[in-house]
Structure 1
Amino acid sequence: MIDLQDGLAVHGVGGRRDQYLPVMTFQTSGRSALRIDGDACRLIDAYHSVGIGSLYVADLDGIRRDRCQQSLIESIAHHAWAAADSDRRGTLFLDLGLRDAVTPQRWNWIESLARNHPRAVVILATECADDVSLLDDVLSRVPRDQVAVSFDYQDGRWLSASTSEEAWLDACGRNAVSTVIGLDLASVGGTSIGRTLELCKRMRRPLPQPRYVTGGGIRSAGDAQRLLDAGADQLLVASLYAQ
């Protein structure tokens, strides 16, 4: 998982985004720490070095201020696959902070990004989306298998002032969304999967079919296995390696 803020890869903790600091090192067992110093492409190389091919990128400038870092996103998309061995090229999840008011120029860019990078998945995050109808707009421009909906919470609280969890569950089922992400930001960078596990179990009841992606608080193989046993298909890790 890679959070981008002001052009740097930052270390997310608890959803307190005004306190995020640049990722400085990447540490794995039995190896010397790699210097990252906020360089997103260097962080991608570090993830590749431990066999992680799929990446989740959250553009916090887009999410918080509706100022998508387009050039940086394009560089990351190119680097993610150019630097990886062919058998390690996984999915690139992109949370661009999409809102109801998307300009035609930005739609053109998103369509081009999806077309040029067929393994990219554009995330529609409920934290940012002002209306459920935005899902229809995204699906009219991006292939269905390149679209994901992220259900966003903070310490169990639904993060949307204008939409409801029920409306998004209905929209995902009605549109046969292929990938759903569940995130409780309070667990990001933490040391417990409690909230993440609870959310996984709850989300799997109304949405048993889509690929389910989640993360937050994963610190061991045992944590990962508990989430997989609860119905997760793919896991997001960051603090396990990057500090």
Structure 2
Amino acid sequence: MTGCKPIPPDAFTSRFIGVIDLQDGLAVHGVGGDRDHYLPVGTFNAPGRAAHRIDGHVQRLIDGYHSVGIDSLYVADLNGIRFGDWQRQQIRSIVERCSDRGTLFLDLGFRTTMPPQRWSWIESLVNDHANVVVILATECATDVSLLSDLLTHLPCDQIAVSLDYKDGRWVSEETTDDDWFDACRNSGISTVIGLDLASVGSTSIQRTLELCKRVRLQLPHTRYITGGGVRGAADARRLFDAGADQLLVASLYAR
């Protein structure tokens, strides 16, 4: 955003979550939710430091986030989200690499009830790593009942629900946001994520700010994570003041 001051080191990093969009084994740079045109992350740019080459290398991007004090990460498996095929080897490598760090949020693209072998894999991952939180993203889930299904397999405090919009409109055709607000309240989910996909990689937090206010009105006491368009300290402050507990950041550092 024009006029925003660069974020000084350590000013908000304890409340930032570094985003890794994982596609075909590469860390890619998301813009506007148009996943057909995502390109590998080129560089990591921290205030007061020389740009560090990433070239799509996942571990380099993780190291970049850690170097500025961002310990929590959000990993979106775009292969799983788009086509249903999880990048299991890469995901496990990331989980093990970050096992002694902050929270690791995983969006694998849950859609419908899964076969037993898939449940076994994700249960093993969660049971072995207490810092892993599995995301149920509403853009993929075909029914609210999938949340109940997850809760029979995974601890409630290791599940988060992502409420997904684009240009202010609810993304799912099978469910409504009111359905999910009710499900979150009734199930006792402690963490929700609000995303307007059109704000991903943008230079404005306006949609993100509007969504923050909307979600906070419905779920005032739930831990709320959001992101999209954050370009400086002023943007971060406005979102925290509107009720965000943590912010997802990507383009602020990785381009």
Q: TM-score normalized by structure 2?
A: 0.92
From 11, 26, 31, give the equivalent of 1:8: 26
Q: CA deviation at 1:32?
A: 1.1
Q: Structure 1 residue 64 and structure 2 residue 82: aligned? A: yes
Compare relative contact order (CA 8 Å, sep 6+) and give the higher one, 1 or 2. 2
- In the alignment, structure 1 segments of 5+ residues that lack a partner are 83-88
Structure 1 equivalent of residue 38 of structure 2? 20
Cα distance, 1:149 vs structure 2: 0.2
Give the one of 49, 55, 64 matched to 2:73.
55
Q: Which runs of 5+ in 2 are unaligned?
A: 1-18
Whole-angstrom distance in 2 between the partners of 1:140 and 1:171: 15
Q: Distance in 2 between matches of 1:225 and 1:143?
A: 32
Corresponding position of 1:93: 105
Cross-structure match for 2:243: 231
Q: State the distance in 1 between where 2:115 and 2:133 align.
A: 20
In structure 2, what is the equivalent of residue 85 of structure 1? Answer: none
Q: CA deviation at 1:67?
A: 0.8
CA–CA separation in structure 2 for the residues paired with 1:43 and 1:61? 19
Question: In the alignment, is the contact (CA less than 8 A) between 2:196 and 2:208 conserved in 1?
Answer: yes
Question: 1:164 is matched with which residue?
Answer: 176
Instruction: Give the superposed CA RMSD.
Output: 0.8
Distance in 2 (CA, whole Å) between partners of 1:222 and 1:61 is 34
Q: Alpha-carbon deviation of 1:161?
A: 1.2
* Matched residue, 2:14: none
Number of aligned positions between the proteins: 237
**Of 203, 209, 215, the match for 2:221:** 209
Q: Distance in 2 between matches of 1:118 and 1:107?
A: 17
- Runs (4 or more) in structure 1 with deviation over 6 Å come to none
**Structure 2: distance between partners of 1:81 and 1:107:** 21
Q: Which letter maps to 1:59?
A: D
Q: Deviations over 1:188-243 (max 9, x none)?
A: 00000000000000100110111000000000011011000100001000001001
Q: How far is the alpha carbon of 1:94 from its aligned partner?
A: 0.4
Equivalent residue of 1:81, what SS?
A: coil
TM-score by length of 1: 0.96
Which of the residues 208, 214, 232 maps onto 1:196?
A: 208
Query: 2:142 and 2:115 mapped to 1: Cα distance?
Result: 15
CA separation in 1, counterparts of 2:76 and 2:194? 14
Note if 1:44 corresponds to 2:44.
Answer: no
The aligned counterpart of 1:125 is 137
- 1:165-184 counterparts in 2 under 5 A? 165-184=177-196
